[in-house]
Chains A and B, each alone.
Chain A
């Protein structure tokens, strides 16, 4: 499904698992390597407990610690730093997702430190291809946008409409 003009984006959006009609995704976060939340959108979020600043910090801290933990517990890698020692982004193994009984959190980090988090229904399958697709969108609309300053939250109006149509992909 094409929802933007211009050339076909490759790869094309992956076919979703599960039914295609309901909205599977609850929230999306995009962070950069300094912890700045570049983008946050929510579609289904019945309970708000914290204000946005605290929520973003909590999310970023959670991911940082989980990555550290996953790298430390890696049985295949010979050389491991101590837990808490800062690692190069992308080094060591990185976790992809965790699932609870009410939601699933999917995660992808690029070597440049951009982190994509998608919180969805627990029934969704492996969303790594979808996250890669979102990364391609990020590159096309954000990194290549001359009016965007890297490291600041994404505010462009046209980006908002794109993200509104995005959940229908799932």
Chain B
């Protein structure tokens, strides 16, 4: 019996219960504002956003797998395509594309067409080092770690810092195979 193909991002996105986009954007903005007030250091805020994203990612992966009925990806190329085409579409409603593959297929860039997190946002001069959307890099890192891939996700281009697009670089560090967790003498 052939496995069913994963449902397309568009189909899942339209079957989900959705929240108002502005509410989402403003809530995220309030979170970042509060973090800046609490932590004051821009680097600390970046780290905290990444950690928050990681915690979201480790749960999000199950929701993604259940709703999209995806099975195990054969290689990292397929994984990035899944993230860009189905993942981003399903959860944020944005289309993304995968470009800039390096020679051995372990590093790629995901370019987001638009980004609902940054509507209405401008970075003031005091926060120039801030990666406003760092939560997204944490989400991808957390989600991939739960499917046995250790990755490093960084922002290459960010419109809030003056570039022309949102580009995330995802680099596969290693795949972690499943090991028998119990000691043999028990």
Contacts and interface: CB of A to CB of B under 8 A. Distances in A.
Q: Do A and B bind each other?
A: yes
Interface of A: 7, 10, 33-35, 57, 60-61, 64, 85-91, 110-114, 132, 135-136, 138-139, 143-144, 150
Contacts of A139: 62-63, 66-67
B148 interface: yes
A34 B58 CA distance: 14
B61 A35 contact: no
Given A89-B148, A90-B72, A150-B59, A64 B66 contact: no
Main secondary structure of the interface of A (DSSP, over half): loop
Contact of A90 (B58, B71, B179): B71
Contacts of B59: 143-144, 150
A111 B147 contact: yes
Contact of A112 (B65, B177, B182): B65
Contacts of B58: 150
Contacts of A113: 146-148, 178
Contacts, number: 76
A76 to B, nearest CB: 13
Given A88-B148, A89-B178, A111 B66 contact: no
Given A88-B148, A89-B147, A111 B178 contact: no
Interface string B67-84: 101111100000000000
B15 A10 contact: yes
Contacts of B73: 111
A61 B179 CA distance: 11
A60 B72 contact: no
A57 B63 CA distance: 27
B178 A57 contact: no
B180 A112 contact: no
Contacts of A60: 181-182
B175 A7 contact: no
A114 B181 contact: no
Contacts of A86: 177-180
Contacts of A138: 62, 66
Given A88-B176, A90-B72, A111-B147, 17 more contacts: A33-B178, A88-B72, A88-B175, A89-B147, A90-B71, A91-B72, A110-B62, A110-B66, A111-B70, A111-B71, A112-B62, A113-B148, A114-B62, A135-B62, A135-B66, A139-B62, A139-B63
B167 to A, nearest CB: 26
14 contacts: A35-B181, A57-B182, A88-B175, A89-B148, A90-B71, A90-B72, A111-B65, A111-B71, A111-B147, A135-B62, A139-B66, A139-B67, A143-B62, A150-B59
A33 B182 CA distance: 12
